[in-house]
């Protein structure tokens, strides 16, 4: 089978397409013919081994390969068709269209992917293409996790810092579906796209610091790793909720103190990406409450170009790599 592989850490140019052995599913595994995979910031960070948050660098480097990557096929968020099932698998059958998460097992940058059937895999939304289904997983699962943690009530003011990224786009839509007034913060090039998914207000961070406006919010969902914790607290109402998906060690410590010693709450609990959450996201897509936003679709031969676009942060939605039919 063909796969996008890399044998050393570095720039997008280390990615190349090669013929590799097709995986053989074990008794409890499903073999999936991958049709599309999202090219994510995490893929780029693993490829280069450069992360905006540093505290997990050493343990992850030991796990992933000190001198060179142990797992040479990236990719976690995929859609495809079940090709074969191990003898102990009853959840799926060949021909099922599915989408799901390969977790840290990775491997979705290959034409075929074998995963345990108890992984977070579900039937695709009936109204989504393979490319759209792949584009919903990272953002949808993580956004749903945090928006549930926020316990948003109708008419509350929710600010999303970094709203134009994969998670922020779905955070905005889910918050709107919960009845919130949504304020999106990102660069100006993303305003039109974000207004298209229903946000109420937009702040261009290159022109204005949201923390200096005097406005306060019931919920702040912070996707920016290097944002100022103190400024976010200044913009939070006395009983507001702060959530971050990219916490530094200092942010974790300060979040704990905030939750213990004030009426505010601060959360950095990472998403579990559970099957129940995936089924909830699927239902929301089918009901029209949320929709994936795909900026560009690249063939596997242009994986390096896909990574470059993700790294520029100039994308207007998800970047998807397609394996075709």
> Which bin fits 25, alpha (ψ -120 to 50), beta or left (φ > 0)?
beta
Q: Are residues 125 and 144 in the same domain?
A: no
Distance of CA 264 to CAs 228, 259, 286, Å? 17, 6, 35
By three-state DSSP, how is residue 1 classified?
A: coil
What is the model's pLDDT at position 313? 82
Rounded to an integer, the average pLDDT of 244-265 is 83
The domain spanning residue 222 has which CATH number?
A: 3.40.50.720
Q: What is the mean pLDDT of the chain?
A: 93
Confidence band of 255 (pLDDT split at 50, 70, 90): confident
The domain spanning residue 98 has which CATH number?
A: 3.90.180.10
Element at 265 (helix H, strand E): strand 265-267
Rounded Cα–Cα distance for residues 319 and 43 (Å): 12
Confidence band of 66 (pLDDT split at 50, 70, 90): confident
Going by DSSP bridges, is the β-strand pair 77-85/97-101 parallel, antiparallel, or unpaired? Answer: antiparallel
Q: Are residues 74 and 171 in the same domain?
A: no
Rounded to an integer, the average pLDDT of 224-236 is 89
In a domain, 282, yes or no: no
Q: Are residues 73 and 171 in the same domain?
A: no
* Higher per-residue pLDDT: 128 or 59: 128
Spacing of C-alpha 259 from chain mean position: 26
Location of structure tokens 């992917």: 113
Confidence band of 64 (pLDDT split at 50, 70, 90): confident
Q: Are residues 119 and 204 in the same domain?
A: no
Spacing of C-alpha 150 from chain mean position: 18
What is the model's pLDDT at position 289? 96
With a CB cutoff of 8 Å and minimum separation 6, the contacts of 149 are 241, 243, 267, 269
Print the domain residue range for 43.
2-136+292-322
| Structural tokens at position 269 | 């609990």
Q: Are residues 157 and 206 in the same domain?
A: yes
Q: Are residues 62 and 79 in the same domain?
A: yes
By three-state DSSP, how is residue 21 classified?
A: coil
Q: Are residues 251 and 198 in the same domain?
A: yes
Rounded Cα–Cα distance for residues 95 and 83 (Å): 6
In a domain, 276, yes or no: no
Location of structure tokens 């999936």: 32
Query: Whole-prediction pTM value?
Result: 0.91
Rounded Cα–Cα distance for residues 76 and 100 (Å): 8
Confidence band of 257 (pLDDT split at 50, 70, 90): confident
DSSP state of 94: T
Rounded to an integer, the average pLDDT of 202-212 is 95
Q: Are residues 161 and 260 in the same domain?
A: yes
Rounded Cα–Cα distance for residues 146 and 86 (Å): 35
Give the total number of structural domains in the chain.
2
Q: Are residues 115 and 8 in the same domain?
A: yes
Reported as a single tens digit per residue, the pLDDT across 29-61 is 999 999 999 999 999 999 999 886 666 667 778
Q: Are residues 299 and 194 in the same domain?
A: no
Q: Are residues 40 and 152 in the same domain?
A: no
């Amino acid at each position: 089978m063909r796969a996008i592989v890399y044998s050393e850490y570095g720039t997008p140019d280390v990615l190349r397409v090669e013929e590799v052995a097709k995986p053989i599913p074990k008794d409890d595994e499903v073999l999936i013919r991958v049709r599309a995979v999202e090219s994510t910031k995490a893929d780029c960070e693993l490829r280069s081994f450069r992360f905006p948050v540093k505290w997990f660098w050493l343990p992850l480097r030991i796990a992933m390969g000190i001198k060179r990557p142990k797992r040479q096929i990236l990719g976690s968020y995929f859609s495809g068709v079940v090709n074969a099932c191990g003898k102990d698998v009853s959840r799926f059958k060949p021909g099922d269209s599915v989408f799901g998460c390969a977790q840290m097992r990775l491997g979705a940058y290959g034409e075929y992917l074998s995963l345990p059937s108890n992984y977070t895999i579900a039937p695709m939304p009936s109204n989504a293409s393979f490319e759209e289904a792949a584009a919903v997983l990272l953002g949808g699962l993580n956004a749903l996790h945090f928006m549930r943690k926020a316990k948003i009530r109708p008419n509350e003011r929710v600010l999303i810092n970094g709203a134009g990224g994969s998670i922020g786009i779905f955070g905005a839509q889910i918050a709107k579906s919960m009845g919130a007034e949504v304020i999106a913060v990102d660069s100006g090039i993303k305003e039109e796209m974000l207004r298209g998914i229903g946000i109420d207000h937009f702040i261009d961070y290159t022109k204005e610091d949201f923390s200096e406006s005097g406005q306060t919010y019931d919920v702040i969902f912070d996707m920016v790793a290097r944002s100022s914790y103190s400024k976010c607290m200044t913009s939070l109402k006395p009983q507001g909720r702060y959530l971050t998906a990219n916490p530094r060690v200092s942010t974790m410590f300060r979040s704990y103190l905030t939750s213990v010693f004030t009426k505010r709450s601060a959360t950095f609990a990472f998403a579990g990406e559970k099957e129940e959450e995936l089924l909830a996201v699927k239902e929301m897509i089918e009901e029209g409450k949320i929709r994936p936003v795909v900026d560009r679709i690249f063939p596997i031969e242009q994986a390096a170009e896909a990574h470059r676009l993700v790294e520029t942060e100039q994308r207007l939605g998800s970047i998807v790599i397609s394996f075709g039919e």
